[in-house]
Homo-oligomer: A and B are copies of this chain.
């Protein structure tokens, strides 16, 4: 994990390693604040799409786009979440990542549930399943993007996958006619 060493990070912001300790007590605190930042971004995305539209399906669609954009904007984020979070030895941080993950999934599920009640999303599937499948559009393409050094296009996959996904979650018959 040389790329996430204190020395490397310091260099990236034009400082000497020890200077970072004026702002953070330890490397752990630095990584934690990155996680907080990520959580903030995700919460922002949720808030914004809910302000932008009332339609649950459209909310989910925009959330997908924003999530993919977030990953592309800051390539370091998945590195912190996965390399330093999911597979960390530090139980505290893994718990933090778990909470972040669960809360995001929970919010997503709530949106799906609303969509189901409004008859815009099929009701014969659990909201959590649909929510996790949406994450399943983002994650693998983010990894492929990293591995391919940017040659693979997550946004492109997102567009094609959404076409199938939107159709998949659509109810067979409208519950009631508008």
- Chain A interface residues toward B at CB < 8 A: 1-3, 78-79, 82-83, 86-87, 89, 94, 97-98, 101, 125-126, 129-130, 132-133, 135-137, 139-141, 143-144, 146-148, 157, 160-161, 163-165, 167-169
**B129, A157: Cβ atoms under 8 Å?**
yes
- Tell me whether A160 and B89 are in contact in the complex, defined as CB-CB below 8 angstroms, given that A101-B144, A133-B137, A144-B101 are known contacts: no
Nearest 8 CB-CB pairings of A with B: A136-B136, A98-B147, A168-B168, A83-B87, A129-B160, A135-B140, A2-B89, A79-B87
Extra contacts besides A82-B87, A97-B147, A129-B161 (19): CB < 8 Å: A1-B1, A1-B87, A1-B89, A83-B83, A86-B143, A86-B146, A87-B146, A94-B147, A129-B164, A130-B164, A132-B141, A133-B137, A135-B140, A136-B137, A136-B139, A139-B140, A164-B168, A164-B169, A168-B168
Shortest Cβ distance from A134 into chain B, in angstroms?
9
